[in-house]
Amino acid sequence: MGFFNFKNKKIQLEDDIDETMYLSVKEERRIAKENKKVFRDYTKLKRRKNVSEEEYLTQMRDSANVVEFDDLHTYFYTDVGTVKSVNGVSFDVPQGKIVGVVGESGCGKSVTSLSLMQLVQAPTGQIVSGSIRYQDATGKCYEITDMPTDAMLHIRGKDIAMIFQEPMTSLNPVFKIGNQMDEVVLLHVEDATSESAKARSIEMLNLVGIADVEKVYDSYPHELSGGMRQRVMIAMALSCDPRLIIADEPTTALDVTIQAQILELLREVKDRIHGSIMLITHDLGVIAEMADLVVVMYAGRIVEKGTVQEIFKNPKHPYTIGLMKSRPGSQNTGDRLYSIKGQVPNPINMPPYCYFYNRCDKAFAPCSQSYPDLMQFSKTHFANCHLYDPKYASDLKDEKMEKQNG
Ligand code: SF4
């Protein structure tokens, strides 16, 4: 049993409370001092004026990609310590493809997409290192992490658009749908007038299958149903013919029939604009239906990635296998639905070994000693797991023998 200090009193901790979560006043001061320094440096960097384009122009690794994430680290400097929300993420979004990013809540999916949009809540949240490259329609490549805020305004909402999870909180409740949609066009399209912006908004509302467009254009968000609001969000995202749509849990707040319609709409729209979609979800059913490529994230890192066939037919990482097993309808045995036991480790104090160790039913000796290297199974299929590392093959064999012998 441990203790912590509160107003100079020593308070006893309950048995089940993790005492490492409590900080001394001295530690709190040290964290606050360090954070203050980081915030100052960050603000200076982002507010740079007159930065020439050459400073943030770069080259893509593969010209067939729209976006490339390379060893991205995005941290949150909180009062209790640094949360490594995205901790070395690398994957590509190819032109014209749907890339599904899957994982449970808090695994870093949304923070990865917000890093791409430069929408991480600053100054607490910051891209600390790594690279995010974006290629526009003319073939120009930008290093997003080096772009000053004013340059990013030309890309965000125009070339890269985002559909958020809950349209009621993403649409402004005090402005009519028409005003909010027109604003996007007026902001990003040169020579746009209020008439041309309205015409474009009406065209987009028609495109997403809204029936009485004039009435919807003139409505407030609360006058529309959840499905209609999500269609409006999609219409708004499409207004400027984006090259990439980030759909962050676009169907989570909707009922099942509307979900299917919205997914169908997203697929149609992607083909019509020849764009790419980064689809963020915790729903493997949505991924199976929509994605070409899949990225599985756990505790801020990618644990497996591959084509949708590879991930669904031949999942390698025990976490991916656990996610598959916990899908409703995946095993028609009449038993309780499978759930992955345990919890994600404390994000402020991640272990120096496999993050899935405390929940993994296939863990063996090396798993508690080091973080697994990236193992390759095909040109497109990768996973970080010691089970497939040839240097641990004999440990695995010994472990199996021991289990067999009781
Ligand atoms: Fe499980 Fe070990 Fe693989 Fe981690 S490295 S997922 S603990 S088998």
> What SS3 string covers the chain?
CCEEEECCEEEECCCCCCHHHCCCHHHHHHHHHHHHHHHHHHHHHHCCCCCCHHHHECCCCCCCEEEEEEEEEEEEEECCEEEEEEEEEEEEEECCCEEEEECCCCCCHHHHHHHHCCCCCCCCEEEEEEEEEEECCCCCEEEHHHCCHHHHCCCECCCEEEECCCHHHHCCCCCCHHHHHHHHHHHHCCCCCHHHHHHHHHHHHHHCCCCCHHHHHCCCHHHCCHHHHHHHHHHHHHCCCCCEEEEECCCCCCCHHHHHHHHHHHHHHHHHHCCEEEEEECCHHHHHHHCCEEEEEECCEEEEEEEHHHHHHCCCCHHHHHHHHCCCCCCCCCCCCCCCCCCCCCCCCCCCCCCCHHHCCCCCHHHHCCCCCEEECCCCCEEECHHHCHHHHHHHHHHHHHHHCC
Average pLDDT value for the chain: 86
Expressed in angstroms and rounded, the spacing between residue 357 Cα and the centre of ligand 1 is 6
| Token pair 């001092």: residue | 33
Domain count, the chain: 2
User: Pick the residue with more confidence: 148 or 45?
Assistant: 148
Asked if the model's pLDDT at residue 69 lies above 90, the reply is yes
Mutation to probe ligand 1, out of 360, 382, 389, 403 (largest number of atoms < 8 A from CB) = 360
Domain annotation covers residue 313: no
Expressed in angstroms and rounded, the spacing between residue 355 Cα and the centre of ligand 1 is 8
Q: Whose CA is nearest to atom 8 of ligand 1?
A: 363
Mutation to probe ligand 1, out of 340, 357, 368, 403 (largest number of atoms < 8 A from CB) = 357
pLDDT score at 141: 95
Whole-number Å distance between alpha carbons of 163 and 237: 7
Mutation to probe ligand 1, out of 355, 367, 395, 400 (largest number of atoms < 8 A from CB) = 367
What are the tokens at 141? 């490549």
Domain termination site, one of 239, 255, 272: 239
Expressed in angstroms and rounded, the spacing between residue 303 Cα and the centre of ligand 1 is 10
Ligand 1 and 157: CB distance under 6 A: no
Asked if the model's pLDDT at residue 313 lies above 90, the reply is yes
Which of 240-249, 258-267, 299-308 has the highest average model confidence (pLDDT)?
A: 299-308
Region 141-165: what's the mean pLDDT?
Answer: 89
Domain annotation covers residue 372: no
Question: Which atom of ligand 1 lies nearest, measured to the CA of 368?
Answer: 7
Domain termination site, one of 239, 254, 283: 239
Expressed in angstroms and rounded, the spacing between residue 369 Cα and the centre of ligand 1 is 11
pLDDT score at 4: 38
pLDDT score at 9: 42
Region 220-234: what's the mean pLDDT?
Answer: 90
Q: Which domain, by its residues, includes 174?
A: 166-239
pLDDT score at 33: 86
Asked if the model's pLDDT at residue 15 lies above 50, the reply is no
| Token pair 């507010």: residue | 47
Question: Which atom of ligand 1 lies nearest, measured to the CA of 360?
Answer: 1
Domain annotation covers residue 194: yes
pLDDT score at 349: 83
Domain termination site, one of 239, 258, 278: 239
pLDDT score at 330: 59
Asked if the model's pLDDT at residue 346 lies above 90, the reply is no
Pairing of strands 301-307, 374-376: unpaired
Ligand 1 and 356: CB distance under 6 A: yes
Region 61-79: what's the mean pLDDT?
Answer: 94
Question: Which atom of ligand 1 lies nearest, measured to the CA of 303?
Answer: 6
Ligand 1 and 315: CB distance under 6 A: no
Asked if the model's pLDDT at residue 333 lies above 70, the reply is no
pLDDT band at 318 (very low <50, low <70, confident <90, very high): very high
Ligand 1 and 367: CB distance under 6 A: yes
Which of 153-162, 248-257, 335-344 has the highest average model confidence (pLDDT)?
A: 153-162
Domain annotation covers residue 234: yes
| pTM to 2 decimal places | 0.86
Ligand 1 and 322: CB distance under 6 A: no
pLDDT, tens digit, 9 for 90 and up, residues 295-306: 999 999 999 999
Domain annotation covers residue 13: yes
Question: By mean pLDDT, which of 60-64, 200-204, 267-271, 316-320 is the weakest?
Answer: 267-271
Domain annotation covers residue 12: yes
Asked if the model's pLDDT at residue 111 lies above 90, the reply is yes
Ligand 1 and 372: CB distance under 6 A: yes
User: Pick the residue with more confidence: 23 or 203?
Assistant: 203
- CB of 207 closer than 8 Å to CB of 123: no
pLDDT score at 20: 54
Domain annotation covers residue 186: yes
pLDDT, tens digit, 9 for 90 and up, residues 178-226: 999 999 999 888 888 999 999 999 999 988 888 899 999 999 999 998 8
Which of 144-148, 249-253, 399-403 has the highest average model confidence (pLDDT)?
A: 144-148
pLDDT band at 332 (very low <50, low <70, confident <90, very high): low
Asked if the model's pLDDT at residue 360 lies above 50, the reply is yes
User: Pick the residue with more confidence: 38 or 135?
Assistant: 135
Question: Which atom of ligand 1 lies nearest, measured to the CA of 362?
Answer: 8
pLDDT score at 38: 80
pLDDT score at 200: 92
Domain annotation covers residue 256: no
Asked if the model's pLDDT at residue 251 lies above 60, the reply is yes
pLDDT band at 331 (very low <50, low <70, confident <90, very high): low
Mutation to probe ligand 1, out of 355, 387, 388, 391 (largest number of atoms < 8 A from CB) = 387
Asked if the model's pLDDT at residue 97 lies above 60, the reply is yes
